[in-house]
Amino acid sequence: MRDEKAPSASLARYRLRKLLDMLKSKEGRGTQLISLYIPPGRRISDVIAMLRQEYGTAANIKSDTTRKNVQDAIVRVMQRLRLFKETPENGLVIFCGAIPRSGPGTERLETYVVIPPEPINVYLYRCDSRFHVEPLEELLKEREAYGIIVMDAESATYAILRGRRLEVVKHITSGVPGKHHKGGQSARRFQRLREMKLLNYFARVGKHANEIFLKVPDLKGIIIAGPGPTKYDFAERDYLDYRLKQRIIAILDTAYTEEFGVREVVEKAPEVMAKVRYVEEKRLMQKFLYHIGHDTGLAVYGESEVRRCLKMGAVDTLLVSEGLDLIRVVIR
């Protein structure tokens, strides 16, 4: 749960998204554009050795222009690699190739070095008429984690949903007997014992949830689900650590428990998560508009004013539209 890193991570993902949009717009002639993905742990010297072989293979290209452009790009990539003593902990991605400006002979060699915001697990070398950005685009998909508890009076199942990946972590049973339908003192005694066991079960559900979910980085929220009222009884009390309880984003009704119930929650999750993102964005905008409307001096807008505050180091939160497409060039 690394909230303090969220702003820098958000900015890194924004910059990467803008870069990938730009790279996708570039096209080369033939197979002159190189995409190189190096996962963490791969030795730079091994990659350079592979590129030397590719340089030799490129000598067989019949077109003089294509051969020269591919070999020049390979040399440029090797030059960039030599700037690194070892592969960064998240891996390394290099795009390089001759991009035509207009007609034949107007190609210009362009190089882009990317250190991914998260570790990559693919080792890829590809020459094509386009840059292959798909592995990096995967990193931009939703990575926040959501904890799921599906429970009733008989059992509880814990799962973690991160992007498209669902992991069922644990399943426990309650040991709570079913309801007693006979009357008399024995029924009342049975009911008291059942309630005691149910409370002990709730305590175990909370204990396991704390052990599982407090260790999860980037935990965005907790979803509690299940058939019947048991989930509400549990959620209303203080069995969850306060850090988890304040992250409960939804309490959902399901027809099933155990793994089938978890799958049912996942089907409903996109709508819940969209609401969470909407609420967060709405809260930030309301805060911004409040300061503007009340002229508190704690909010500014417009490029020049924002740049002035950035240079002063006076910015707490920076709101940038994803549709903003500005390029600033400084000539010294």
Domain 145-278 fold is Nucleotidyltransferase; domain 5 (3.30.420)
pLDDT band at 332 (very low <50, low <70, confident <90, very high): confident
**Cβ partners under 8 Å of residue 141, min gap 6:** 163, 164
SS (H, E, C) the chain: CCHHHHHHHHHHHHHHHHHHHHHHCCCCCCCCEEEEEECCCCCHHHHHHHHHHHHHHHCCCCCHHHHHHHHHHHHHHHHHHCCCCCCCCCCEEEEEEEECCCCCCCCEEEEEEECCCCCCCCCEEEEECCCCCHHHHHHCCCCCEEEEEEECCCEEEEEEEECCEEEEEEEEECCCCCCCCCCCHHHHHHHHHHHHHHHHHHHHHHHHHHHHHCCCCCEEEEEEEECCCHHHHHHHCCCCCHHHHCCEEEEEECCCCHHHHHHHHHHHHHHHHHHHHHHHHHHHHHHHHHHHHCCCCCCCCCHHHHHHHHHHCCCCCCCCCCCCCCCCCCCC
Q: What would the pLDDT profile of 135-165 be if each residue is shown by its tens digit?
A: 999 888 766 789 999 999 999 999 998 876 7
317: pLDDT strictly greater than 80: yes
**Domain range summary for the chain, segments of one domain joined by +:** 3-139, 145-278
How deeply is 223 buried, as exposed, middle or buried, from its count of CB atoms within 10 A (0-12, 13-18, 19+)?
buried
Handedness of CA 54, 55, 56, 59 (dihedral sign): positive
Judged against a pLDDT cut of 60, whether residue 39 lies above it is answered with: yes
pLDDT surpasses 90 at 124: yes
Whole-number Å distance between alpha carbons of 267 and 258: 15
The predicted-structure confidence for 48-98, as pLDDT tens digits, reads as follows: 999 999 999 999 989 888 999 999 999 999 999 999 999 999 999 999 999
pLDDT, tens digit, for every residue of 164-223?
Answer: 678 999 999 998 877 655 555 576 777 788 889 999 999 999 999 999 999 998 898 999
Give the pLDDT mean for 288-316.
Answer: 92
Cα→Cα distances 226→157, 241, 310, 315, Å: 10, 20, 48, 44
- Give the pair of three-digit tokens for residue 324: 């903003």
- The answer to whether the CB of 244 falls within 8 A of the CB of 147 is yes
Distance CA 197, CA 153 (A): 10
Q: Rounded to the nearest 10 degrees, how much is the dihedral formed by the CA atoms of 52, 54, 60, 66?
A: -100
User: Which pLDDT does position 280 carry in this prediction?
Assistant: 75
- 218-251 pLDDT, tens digit per residue, is 898 999 999 999 999 999 999 999 999 999 999 9
Q: What is the pLDDT of residue 9?
A: 64
The pTM score is 0.58
What is the dotted CATH code of the domain comprising 3-139? 3.30.960.10
